[in-house]
Amino acid sequence: MKVTMLFLGLLALFIAPGLANYNINVNDNDNVAGSGQQRVSINNAHNVANVDNNNGWNSWNSIWDYENSFAATRLFAKKSCIVHRMNMEVMPSIQTLDALAKQQKLQGKGPAGSPPKNMVFSINPNQVDDLSQFGNNIAGMCQGIPTFVAEEIPGENLPLYSEKCYDANILWILNMSFCRTTEEQF
């Protein structure tokens, strides 16, 4: 009986870290037009990743809800929240994000490998009234602030949007640009 209890205790000790929340901090020590400090939190039990970018007034927070296939980015400078569908052909899986974030932490700077993937989104000017359609995680983050839906735009050469975009670059692996079509928008 004691051997069984000891075995179950050791098994739980090895399995628990894979199910728990954990954080990975990535610093941009040079911070010259850099991204400040990023922190990635992954919750495997709820299938959610949270990326915090702390860079003064240009700070933002992004939540990737893999279970509902939606992501949202809260732009503090714009006092708004942008929600979009997750494109799993471009955005890394939660397991890949976990591995890449750990790799970036060890390197301390961007990887010497392939360049980051780019995603450009067009923001719909109409505010979202019902946040529940995006799941509890995103509804909780965007509650009480103007929220807009964005659609991914294929291609990278978008002169119509070039001056009206807000960028959220994640761990040197994914560059996301949220673009508006009018100056008044958000």
The pLDDT value given to residue 18: 45
The pTM assigned to this predicted structure is 0.75
Average pLDDT over residues 23-49: 69
pLDDT beyond 80 at 3: no
**Can you tell me the distance from the alpha carbon of 121 to that of 123, in angstroms, rounded to the nearest whole number?**
6
CB 106 within 8 A of CB 115: no
Tens digits of per-residue pLDDT, 40-86? 899 999 999 999 999 888 899 999 999 999 999 999 988 999 999 99
**Can you tell me the distance from the alpha carbon of 170 to that of 156, in angstroms, rounded to the nearest whole number?**
17
Bin 172: left if φ > 0, else alpha if -120 < ψ < 50, else beta. left
Other C-beta atoms closer than 10 Å to the C-beta of 116 total 15
Give how far Cα 129 sits from Cα of 65, 134, 147, Å: 19, 11, 8
Taking CA 13 as the corner, what is the angle to CA 107 and CA 44, rounded to the nearest 5 degrees? 55
Strand segments, DSSP code E, in 10-87 are: 21-27, 37-43, 48-54, 60-65, 70-75, 80-85
Name the helix (H) or strand (E) containing 121: strand 117-127
The pLDDT value given to residue 105: 57
DSSP code of 57? Answer: B
Q: How far apart are the first and last CA of the chain?
A: 64
> Which tokens belong to 72?
């949202």
Backbone angles phi, psi at 164, to 5 degrees: -120, 35
pLDDT band at 20 (very low <50, low <70, confident <90, very high): very low
**Can you tell me the distance from the alpha carbon of 155 to that of 59, in angstroms, rounded to the nearest whole number?**
26
Tens digits of per-residue pLDDT, 87-138? 999 899 999 888 877 776 545 455 556 678 889 899 999 999 999 999 999 9
Contacts of 79 (CB under 8 A, 6+ apart): 145, 146
